């Protein structure tokens, strides 16, 4: 009897290697195990539009020097149900049947309606033994963005901000025709890097016109490998000029002017196939979303320094007793929204 969770854990590890390159597809890894429990091949989905994990894995097996095992005695492990549809690539379930793999162990069923159980059915109809639901919680966590898009028809929402010890996002800034004061710097080089990692992990980044005007951010991923997120700007009054950095050629920018209502924006982003959005401010937008209640995670960085005067207040949320991490003396909190 094979130790199923052990191999599914390995598929999750492999799947994660595609992290910055597969969106909006899920991260998927696969391992082929012989009857003695040895892994004889591995593969993962490397790039959007590219071969799926199962195809990579079986191909690696066939190209390897130990390709003399009987596949009917082998088990293929995969963290997500093999697909059953013709998309950018042919169905993995069909390939698995044709290669004559004996058994398939699936971490989680694919929530994509094009697949949703049909992959497993195809395999079973062909007489292949299929086990479903191993380390399901971990499998869901890895692909929470992809799952959210398919199950809730909206992107996964992460709210992110940094505040001073006394609860401010920014100072009240001096602004005149000749002089505009820069933003209060709260993050450190290291915590900034983590923000850029989040930009690479999520498909879109959203700000309001206040932030775009005051900070003129480019919202690119420069301190971490991976793609620049798609930029989303809520600009009801059409205030942000076209020469702002948010409109640079580095990434696509979607602007909402006529309707900036949160549920509408989420629905529209979903229609565009965007599976995740991180919200980087400012205060007005963050408060609006917290009021609405549709968000999945909050990442809050609390600096060890106080502003010491009146400033722009951060949203009032009750923080957990323990921060998730402490970096450079800054407390990093992570909260989950309601399921």
> Which residues are known to be catalytic?
54
> Which segment (85-93, 135-143, 266-274, 324-332) binds Zn ion by CB under 5 A?
85-93
Q: Does 110 interact with ligand AOF (rule: CB under 6 A)?
A: yes
Nearest to 204 by CA among 150, 149, 128: 149
Q: Which is nearer to ligand AOF, 55 or 214 (CB)?
A: 55
Instruction: Kindly give the residue spans of alpha helices, DSSP state H, lying in 64-117.
Output: 92-99
**Among the listed residues 23, 33, 45, 164, the single contact to ligand AOF using CB under 6 A:** 45
The least CB distance from residue 139 to Zn ion, in Å, is 16
Q: Which does 26 bind (CB under 5 to 8 A by kind): ligand AOF, Zn ion, none?
A: ligand AOF
Q: Distance (Å, rounded) from C-alpha 55 to C-alpha 123?
A: 15
The least CB distance from residue 122 to Zn ion, in Å, is 11
Q: Does 115 interact with ligand AOF (rule: CB under 6 A)?
A: yes
Buried b (16+ CB within 10 A) or exposed e, 22-37: bbbbbbbbbbbbbeee
Q: DSSP label at 66?
A: T
Q: Distance (Å, rounded) from C-alpha 200 to C-alpha 29?
A: 20
Cis check: omega of the bond before 49, within 30 degrees of 0: no
Tell me the two tokens of residue 169.
């996002």
Q: Does 53 interact with ligand AOF (rule: CB under 6 A)?
A: yes
| Element spanning 238, H or E | none
Q: Which does 88 bind (CB under 5 to 8 A by kind): Zn ion, ligand AOF, none?
A: ligand AOF
Query: What is the C-alpha end-to-end distance of the chain, expressed in Å?
Result: 35
The least CB distance from residue 14 to ligand AOF, in Å, is 10
**Interface residues toward ligand AOF, by CB under 6 A:** 25-26, 28, 45, 52-54, 80, 82-83, 87-89, 92, 110, 112, 115
**Interface residues toward Zn ion, by CB under 5 A:** 52, 83, 92
């Amino acid at each position: 009897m094979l130790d199923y969770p052990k191999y599914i854990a390995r598929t999750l590890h492999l799947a994660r290697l595609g992290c910055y390159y597969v969106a909006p597809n899920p991260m998927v890894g696969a391992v082929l195990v012989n009857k003695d429990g040895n892994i004889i091949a591995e593969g993962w989905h490397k790039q959007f539009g590219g071969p799926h994990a199962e195809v990579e894995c079986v191909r690696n097996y066939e190209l390897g020097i130990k390709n003399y095992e009987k596949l009917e005695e082998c088990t293929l492990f995969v963290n997500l149900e093999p697909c059953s549809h013709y998309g950018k690539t042919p169905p993995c379930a069909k390939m698995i049947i044709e290669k004559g793999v004996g058994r398939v162990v699936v971490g989680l069923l694919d929530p994509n309606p094009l697949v949703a159980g049909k992959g497993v059915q195809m395999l079973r109809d062909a007489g292949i033994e299929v086990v479903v639901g191993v380390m399901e919680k971990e499998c869901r966590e890895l692909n929470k963005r992809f799952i959210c898009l398919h199950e809730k028809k909206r992107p996964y929402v992460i709210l992110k901000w940094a505040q001073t010890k006394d609860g401010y996002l920014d100072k009240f800034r001096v602004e005149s025709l000749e002089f505009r004061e820069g933003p209060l710097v709260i993050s450190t080089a290291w915590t900034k890097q983590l923000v850029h990692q989040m930009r690479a992990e999520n498909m879109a980044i959203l700000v309001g016109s206040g932030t775009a005007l005051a900070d003129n951010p480019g919202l690119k991923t420069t301190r971490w490998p991976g793609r620049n997120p798609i930029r989303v700007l809520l600009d009801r009054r059409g205030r942000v000029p076209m020469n702002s950095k948010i409109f640079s050629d580095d990434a696509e920018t979607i602007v909402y002017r006529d309707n900036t209502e949160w549920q509408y924006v989420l629905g529209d982003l979903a229609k565009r196939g965007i599976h995740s959005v991180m919200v980087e401010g400012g205060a007005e937008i963050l408060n609006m979303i917290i009021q609405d209640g549709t968000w999945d995670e909050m990442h809050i960085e609390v600096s060890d320094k106080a502003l010491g005067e009146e400033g722009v207040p951060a949203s009032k949320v009750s923080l957990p007793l323990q921060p998730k991490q402490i970096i450079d003396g800054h407390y990093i909190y992570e909260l989950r929204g309601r399921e």
